[in-house]
Amino acid sequence: MTAVQAKPKRRARGTRAQRDARAGLALVSPTVIVVVVMVVLPVLWALLLSFQRIRLIQIRRMDILGSEYTLRNYDLLFGSSDFLAAIRVTLMYSVLGTFGAIALGLIAALLVRRPFKGRAAVRGVMLLPYVAPVVAIAFIWRVLLSPQLGFVNAVGTDVLGWDSPIPFLSQERGEITLFGLSFGVPTALLMVIFFESWKSFPFAFLFILARLQAVPGELEEAAKMDGATPTQVFRHILLPQLAGVIALIAVLRFIFTFNAFDEIYLLTGGGAGTEVLATQVYSFLTARNDVGASAAVAMFMAAVLAVLLLVYLKFFAERDRPA
């Protein structure tokens, strides 16, 4: 038996804590550098751009920091009815889209909660709308809803007896007659909200299902012993357990939907009353070549989210503390 006491070769000097601190900084620095260079600095620069009158043609010879700062972009925006309309549409789209996704996700999660034959396959299939490329699913729905060759309108006119095909994605206002009462509906906006709910419900489904699996079985058993019906179990046992995760999903989905560009751009191009702030940023940048105005709209979006997030954090930090 040889008891060789190998002396650890340590090139680094200093105490263990100092060595860890140095190693930690070294290892995390590539991440931090990428995020600072590609996210933090661009955001700060966008802030500067939003206070300048800059067009795309001028960028080749412009100064990085710019020269003349003015509030004119913001001034013009808040006087523009297009911008105010886009704020309203964005809020409707993100609130109703978030609500739709969570409602569908919650129902789906409750449905597949208990084991049944083929459950794994059903669960996998239900995630498809969320993982499939947004370009593909947007075009599938564009074809499905098309007035000329779409399946939905074919069924509507042949089976359901509609008078004429409905141009779902290009009709700004339609009329629905229910029980003799007719009222106007923003057709295209409802369609993009519906699309958003369909595309994103798997996200809510996945997280709610994961949380449901962790609800202790004894609670439910006890309630059942006391004669609680399924809806009572849901209302008084499951829902309180799910409240936290639903609130979190609501915040995340609201942020994602508020920022969403692809879905609306691909479905309607922002036409027919569906122009949201994100598509407005894009059209300012590319169609009107107005870098300053597009940056101002984008900064406004970031500011709205920052305020909402602060409110949420404050509200929740205070509610969670006693627990």
Partner 1 sequence: MRRRWNRYAIEVAALRVLRPLGIAFFVLITVFPFYYMVLLSVRDISEIIESPGSIIVGLGELSTDAYERVLKPTSEGGEGFLRFLLNSLLLAAGTVVVTLLVSILGAYAVSRLEFFGRRAVHFLFLSVYLFPAILLAIPLFVAFSKMGLRGELWVLVIVYVAQTLPICVYMLRNYFETVPVSLEEAAEVDGATRMQIIRKITLPLAIPAIAATGLFVFMIAWNEFLFALLFLVEERPNWTVSLGVSQLTNIETPATTLMAGSVILTVPIIVLFLFAERLMTEGLTRGAEKG
Q: Give residues 37-96 in contact with partner 1 (rule: CB under 8 A).
A: 37-40, 42-43, 45-46, 49, 56, 59-60, 62
Measuring CA to CA, how many Å separate 226 from each of 114, 163, 231? 21, 54, 14
Q: Is 101 in the site for partner 1 (CB under 8 A)?
A: no
Shortest CB 268 distance to partner 1, Å: 12
Q: Is 306 in the site for partner 1 (CB under 8 A)?
A: yes
How far apart are alpha carbons 193 and 263 in whole angstroms?
10
Structure tokens at 173: 């206002």
Residue with Cβ nearer partner 1 (89 or 278):
278
Q: Is 254 in the site for partner 1 (CB under 8 A)?
A: no
Residue with Cβ nearer partner 1 (175 or 306):
306
The binder of partner 1 chosen from 87, 134, 193, 264 (CB under 8 A): 134
Sign of CA dihedral 171, 177, 178, 184: positive
Q: Is 322 in the site for partner 1 (CB under 8 A)?
A: no
Shortest CB 38 distance to partner 1, Å: 3
The binder of partner 1 chosen from 4, 5, 15, 30 (CB under 8 A): 30
With CB under 8 A as the contact rule, which of the stretches 76-84, 120-128, 172-180, 182-190 interacts with partner 1? 120-128
SS3 percent helix, strand, coil of the chain, rounded to 5, is 70, 5, 30
Q: Can you tell me whether residue 181 is helix, strand or coil?
A: strand
Residue with Cβ nearer partner 1 (55 or 173):
55
Gyration radius of the chain over CA positions: 26
With CB under 8 A as the contact rule, which of the stretches 80-88, 92-100, 124-132, 181-189 interacts with partner 1? 124-132
Say which residue the tokens 């209302």 belong to: 235
Contact of 113 with 209, CB cutoff 8 Å: yes
Shortest CB 112 distance to partner 1, Å: 7
Q: Is 200 exposed, middle or buried (0-12, 13-18, 19+ CB in 10 A)?
A: buried
Cα angle 283-289-295, degrees, rounded to a multiple of 5:
70
Q: Is 129 in the site for partner 1 (CB under 8 A)?
A: yes
Applying the rule CB under 8 A, the residues between 207 and 226 that interact with partner 1 are 207, 210-211, 213-214
Structure tokens at 88: 């309203």
The binder of partner 1 chosen from 266, 267, 270, 274 (CB under 8 A): 266
